[in-house]
């Protein structure tokens, strides 16, 4: 009887969480996310788009790896640590899920979410860099909590929103940043290589603990090596799959655009039902795109604040390149590999649609054979581990805002590493849903902050733009005189 009661209770909790999750990630939040992106893009006169090329050049330049000072980390390390938080299983699992449930057109809406997310990511990280501060150890700390607390029009409300944002971030760090990632990694290693989830969990836990002891410096060093290496490996594999199926690519791209903007029910879903193409494509594409690059969530603000550059606008532009690398590059490669390989819509022996990591594996195996499945398993594991260590920093800084006493950081790190083992060894459907909720709730206070301070964001941005233009004119005149 007790077991039956527990089963029923678990089912009710899961049902409740899924209902709340569907409400939070419904049209309201997605409209707010995209609407904020549109508003900021227009308010900033498309400068995030215009300066993307220059920002990418800076991100990859020696200057971005400048000497660390004032308790911070180099701008490049800050970007890689932020990418460690965002480049995760969503780049593999999330993309395939969007394509299955929203149709091939969902890929276009993921790209649209990234395009509009440039301004959102720029704005949130610029503010984080502007209002950062130092703790008792001389370390730079920051996040969306500080501009909310200091500059939100209604101070009391701003303080409440800052506390809520920090609390949601701490909870999200254990969910979407930790246990769900560990679960994905252990499952991939078990299915592909037969490694016991317990062994995977123990190894991940030990590695996480070793890295967290060193704080942001250790996390950033690992991220600066791990993120570029694993991204290049994955991109090479994905590109080979796309080129190997090149004969299907032109028609696949046409189908992607056709279904992305078709106002009528024009595509049969994998379950046999007819999808309202544009609506479903937009819903799933935007939701998975935002879930992947986290533009508007505020998660990147923690690491952006730690960048050693003294120019908040520069940090904002650098940070927004993370959206480009995450969605425009990696997610696009995943999506095109799936579409070009022709595996979208296949079912398993039981008649169920193949989705998630399994679909991406099948796509890669069309050209790479068994090695394709192993590559995806390795990719999921590395992506998941990078997310675990990246989100550890986010959660720790959010907790530090709520509980400034530094001794709480040690407790957090211990609990966080234990959670890795728990996540790797138990089913986590409820945790996945709860994590999704916390991620969505982070966006509310953060987006309100961006909208309320949009005037300040625009003024600082235009002032820096005018300064750069003036310096260019002076430089040209100086060159003319000396020539």
Express each pLDDT in 147-170 by its tens digit: 999 988 888 899 999 999 999 999
pLDDT value of residue 259 = 83
Rounded to an integer, the average pLDDT of 226-247 is 90
Under a CB-based contact definition with an 8 Å cutoff, are residues 248 and 340 in contact?
Answer: yes
pLDDT value of residue 5 = 74
CATH of residue 95's domain is 1.20.1740.10
Rounded to an integer, the average pLDDT of 267-293 is 67
Percent of the chain that is helix, strand, coil (3-state, to 5): 80, 5, 20
pLDDT value of residue 137 = 78
Q: Tens of pLDDT along 102-144?
A: 888 899 999 999 999 999 999 999 999 999 988 887 788 899 9
In a domain, 474, yes or no: no
Quote the radius of gyration of the chain (alpha carbons, Å). 22
pLDDT value of residue 69 = 60
pLDDT value of residue 268 = 42
Under a CB-based contact definition with an 8 Å cutoff, are residues 255 and 104 in contact?
Answer: yes
Rounded to an integer, the average pLDDT of 258-272 is 58
CA atoms of 78 and 317, how far apart (whole Å):
12
Rounded to an integer, the average pLDDT of 93-104 is 84
Give the pLDDT band of residue 409 (cuts 50, 70, 90): confident
Instruction: Inform me whether the pLDDT recorded for 18 exceeds 50.
Output: yes
Under a CB-based contact definition with an 8 Å cutoff, are residues 456 and 316 in contact?
Answer: no
Two tokens at 297? 């969530």
pLDDT value of residue 272 = 40
pLDDT value of residue 215 = 77
pLDDT value of residue 274 = 41
pLDDT value of residue 345 = 80
Under a CB-based contact definition with an 8 Å cutoff, are residues 89 and 380 in contact?
Answer: yes
Q: Which whole-number Å values give the CA distances from 300 to 106, 293, 308, in the listed order? A: 24, 9, 15
- The mean of the pLDDT values for the chain is 85
CA atoms of 426 and 150, how far apart (whole Å):
42
Instruction: Inform me whether the pLDDT recorded for 88 exceeds 80.
Output: no
pLDDT value of residue 266 = 44
CA atoms of 99 and 335, how far apart (whole Å):
8
In a domain, 451, yes or no: yes
Give the pLDDT band of residue 275 (cuts 50, 70, 90): very low
Question: How many structural domains are present in the chain?
Answer: 1
- State what percent of residues in the chain have pLDDT above 90: 38
In a domain, 331, yes or no: yes
Contacts of 10 (CB under 8 A, 6+ apart): 430
Instruction: Inform me whether the pLDDT recorded for 320 exceeds 50.
Output: yes
Strands 140-141 and 133-134: antiparallel
pLDDT value of residue 271 = 42
Q: In terms of DSSP H, where are the helices of 89-196?
A: 93-102, 106-130, 145-151, 155-174, 180-193
Buried b (16+ CB within 10 A) or exposed e, 430-464: ebbbbbbbbbbbbbbbbbbbbbbbbeebbebbeeb
Two tokens at 46? 């498309």
In a domain, 477, yes or no: no
Pairwise pLDDT comparison (274 vs 369), residue with the higher score: 369
Instruction: Inform me whether the pLDDT recorded for 370 exceeds 70.
Output: yes
Which of 126-135, 353-362, 417-426 is predicted with the least confidence, judged by mean pLDDT?
Answer: 353-362
CA atoms of 141 and 304, how far apart (whole Å):
10
In a domain, 214, yes or no: yes
Two tokens at 93? 């699992």
Q: What are the beta bridge partners of residue 219?
A: none
Q: Which of 88-97, 195-204, 252-261 has the highest mean pLDDT?
A: 195-204
CA atoms of 245 and 61, how far apart (whole Å):
34
Give the pLDDT band of residue 265 (cuts 50, 70, 90): very low
CA atoms of 337 and 375, how far apart (whole Å):
14
Instruction: Inform me whether the pLDDT recorded for 380 exceeds 90.
Output: no
Cα angle for residues 436, 146, 117 (degrees, 5° grid): 50
Q: Which whole-number Å values give the CA distances from 46 to 231, 252, 419, in the listed order? A: 28, 31, 42
Instruction: Inform me whether the pLDDT recorded for 67 exceeds 60.
Output: no
Two tokens at 109? 């809406």
Q: What are the beta bridge partners of residue 353?
A: 347
Two tokens at 25? 């990630």
pLDDT value of residue 475 = 62
- Using CA atoms of 341, 342, 343, 349 in order, give the dihedral in degrees to the nearest 10: -130
CA atoms of 347 and 363, how far apart (whole Å):
13
Which of 82-91, 328-337, 448-457 is predicted with the least confidence, judged by mean pLDDT?
Answer: 82-91
273 CB neighbour count, 10 Å cutoff: 9
Q: Which of 114-118, 267-271, 386-390 has the highest mean pLDDT?
A: 114-118
pLDDT value of residue 70 = 62
CA atoms of 42 and 32, how far apart (whole Å):
15
Which of 60-74, 92-106, 242-256 is predicted with the least confidence, judged by mean pLDDT?
Answer: 60-74
Q: Tens of pLDDT along 459-481?
A: 999 999 998 888 777 666 655 55
Instruction: Inform me whether the pLDDT recorded for 450 exceeds 70.
Output: yes
Instruction: Inform me whether the pLDDT recorded for 407 exceeds 90.
Output: no
CA atoms of 420 and 206, how far apart (whole Å):
9
User: What does the DSSP assignment read for 179-192?
Assistant: IHHHHHHHHHHHHH
In a domain, 333, yes or no: yes
Two tokens at 280? 């479903």
Q: Which domain range does residue 242 map to?
A: 2-465
Rounded to an integer, the average pLDDT of 216-231 is 83
């Amino acid at each position: 009887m007790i077991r039956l009661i527990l089963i029923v209770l678990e089912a009710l909790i899961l049902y409740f969480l899924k209902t709340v999750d569907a409400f939070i990630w419904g049209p309201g939040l997605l409209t707010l996310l995209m609407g904020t992106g549109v508003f900021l893009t227009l308010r900033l006169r498309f400068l995030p788009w215009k300066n993307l090329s220059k920002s990418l050049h800076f991100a990859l330049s020696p200057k971005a790896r400048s000497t660390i000072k004032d308790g911070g980390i180099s701008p490049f390390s800050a970007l890689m640590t932020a990418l460690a938080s965002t480049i995760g299983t969503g780049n593999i699992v999330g993309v395939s899920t969007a394509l299955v449930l929203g149709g091939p057109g969902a890929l276009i809406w993921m790209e649209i979410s990234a395009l509009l997310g440039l301004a959102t990511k720029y704005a949130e990280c610029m503010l984080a860099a502007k209002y950062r501060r130092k703790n008792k150890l001389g370390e730079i700390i920051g996040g969306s909590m500080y501009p909310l607390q200091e500059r939100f029009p209604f101070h009391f409300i701003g303080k409440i929103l800052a506390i809520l944002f920090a609390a949601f971030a701490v909870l999200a760090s254990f969910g979407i940043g930790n246990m769900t990632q560990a679960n994905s990694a252990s499952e991939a290693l078990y299915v592909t290589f037969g490694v016991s989830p317990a062994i995977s969990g123990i190894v991940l836990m030990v590695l996480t603990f070793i890295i967290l002891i060193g704080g942001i410096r250790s996390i950033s060093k690992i991220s600066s090596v791990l993120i570029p290496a694993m991204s290049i490996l994955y991109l090479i594999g994905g590109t080979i799959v796309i080129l190997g199926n090149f004969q299907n690519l032109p028609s696949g791209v046409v189908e992607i655009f056709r279904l992305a903007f078709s106002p009528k029910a024009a595509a049969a879903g994998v379950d046999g039902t007819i999808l309202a193409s544009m609506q479903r494509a937009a819903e799933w594409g935007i939701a998975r795109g935002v879930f992947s690059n986290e533009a508007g969530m505020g998660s990147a603000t923690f690491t952006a604040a730690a960048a050693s550059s003294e120019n908040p606008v520069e940090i904002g532009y650098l940070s927004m390149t993370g959206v480009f690398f995450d969605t425009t590059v990696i997610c696009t490669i995943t999506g095109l590999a799936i579409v070009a390989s022709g595996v979208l819509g296949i079912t398993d022996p039981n008649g169920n649609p193949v989705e998630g990591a399994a679909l991406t594996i099948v796509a890669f195996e069309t050209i790479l054979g068994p090695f394709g499945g192993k590559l995806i398993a390795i990719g999921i594991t590395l992506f998941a581990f990078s997310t675990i260590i990246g989100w550890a920093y986010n959660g720790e800084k959010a907790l530090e805002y709520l509980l400034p006493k530094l001794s709480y950081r040690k407790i957090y790190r211990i609990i966080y590493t234990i959670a890795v083992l728990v996540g790797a060894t138990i089913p986590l459907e409820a945790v996945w849903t709860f994590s999704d909720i916390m991620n969505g709730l982070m966006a509310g206070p953060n987006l309100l902050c961006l909208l309320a301070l949009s005037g300040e964001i625009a003024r600082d941005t235009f002032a820096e733009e005018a300064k750069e233009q003036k310096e260019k004119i002076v430089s040209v005149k100086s060159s003319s005189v000396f020539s």
